Amino acid sequence: MLQKVLEWPNRTPARLPPGHPPVMCVIVDTEEEFDWSKPFSRQCTATESIGAQETAHRAIYDRLGIVPTYVVDWPVATTPAAYSALRAIMREGRCEVGTHLHPWVSPPYVEVVNAHNSYAGNLLPELEAEKIKQLTNAIHDNFGHQPQVFKAGRYGLGPHTLGTLAALGYCVDASVVPYTAFNADGGPDYTNCTNTAFWFAAPRAPMLALPVTTAFCGALKGVGPALYPKLDHRFAATWRVKGLLARTHLLERIRLTPEGCDLVALKRLMMTISNSGQPMTLTYHSPSLVPGNTPYVRTVNELRGFLNTIEQCCQFFKEDLGGVFLTAMQIHQLLLKSK
């Protein structure tokens, strides 16, 4: 699947201007609450955690001058209490709003609900396109804003996704997870993708692929892309080689997220990426701001730790690495000027 996506015509790498300080944006997968351990269901559409997003603004973002990008899915975009809460933050200039497609809760509701079809890129091209179009229109109608940033739910790009996004006027896709495969249940394989952002030729304007920041750290990081996939083979898995390499800091694959990553690891990742000329994206899921919704935040104490990790991570990026915070669309404009 992925190889077809990356054969987009005239694909060219994107870099920050020479001498520019490190850049980071915060992208929040803004979605309904559901039990991640159970099968997907069209009936799970509650969005009570959206009101809690203001907590992160008061505690972290407003003070540090961070304007996060909330990529919202259908339940959020069409539930009045949810979209009203985010719309108020957006109108104050404190956030940007984009699009996040969970196909199982997005009309038209015609496909079978299962793991394979939870990756929208596996759907018939016409069905995927219609789901994206209807969601885009709902965001436009309820937020008074035309979304230009897209992130596929479950990172599920397909061979036709970028073409659909380009036709609808999107400027940024934030779905690719470098060095990571989701093909165990039918998702895309991104193991050959790096952290390098790319431009894709599009009918209206150049479209930017902005990866989810993921990199190898440790003494063996140079061989990480070749070695890491082999660690899932039976012998290596039996002896838990991957865990051993991570504990000894010889080789770790780290994603820039407070979900399942501690602050020490995130600092190592940011130091590894900071001189690469590539923007960084800090990501998490909106339900994590209410205890009990995700495996990452189960208690009030874990929520405090979660918010503290975000705060300390962002402070380290700004104060120790000299980084600056931009929105996804501001990164698009910055990279476009240096193209």
Q: Which residue has the higher pLDDT, 31 or 2?
A: 31
Predicted confidence band of residue 188 (pLDDT cuts 50, 70, 90) = very high
Q: pLDDT tens digit string along 291-331? A: 999 999 999 999 999 999 999 999 999 999 999 999 999 99
Strand partners, 285: 29
> In this structure, what token pair is assigned to residue 102?
């969970």
**What pLDDT was estimated at residue 228?**
82
Q: What is the mean pLDDT of residues 119-124?
A: 97
**What pLDDT was estimated at residue 5?**
46
Domains and CATH numbers, the chain: 2-213+278-337 (3.20.20.370)
**What pLDDT was estimated at residue 226?**
78
Q: pLDDT tens digit string along 125-156? A: 999 999 999 999 999 999 999 999 999 999 99
**What pLDDT was estimated at residue 269?**
97
Q: pLDDT tens digit string along 8-20? A: 556 789 999 999 9
**What pLDDT was estimated at residue 224?**
76
Residue 138 CA: distances (Å) to CA of 23, 98, 131:
31, 11, 11
Q: pLDDT tens digit string along 245-294? A: 877 778 999 999 999 999 999 999 999 999 999 999 999 999 999 999 99
Q: In sequence order, which residues have a C-beta less than 8 Å from that of residue 273 and are 6 or more positions away?
A: 22, 195, 213, 215, 280
44 pLDDT higher than 70: yes
User: Would residue 203 be called left, alpha or beta, if left means φ above 0 and alpha means ψ between -120 and 50 degrees?
Assistant: alpha
Q: By CB neighbour count within 10 A (0-12 exposed, 13-18 middle, 19+ buried), where does 43 fall? A: exposed
For 51-85, b/e burial (b = at least 16 CB within 10 A) is ebbbebbeebbeebebbbbbbbbbbbbbbeebbeb
d(CA 130, CA 123): 11
Closest C-alpha among 77, 88, 167, 81 to residue 128: 167
**What pLDDT was estimated at residue 208?**
96
335 pLDDT higher than 90: yes
Predicted confidence band of residue 82 (pLDDT cuts 50, 70, 90) = very high
Q: pLDDT tens digit string along 207-244? A: 999 999 999 998 788 887 878 877 776 555 544 767 77
pTM, 2 dp:
0.94
3 pLDDT higher than 50: no
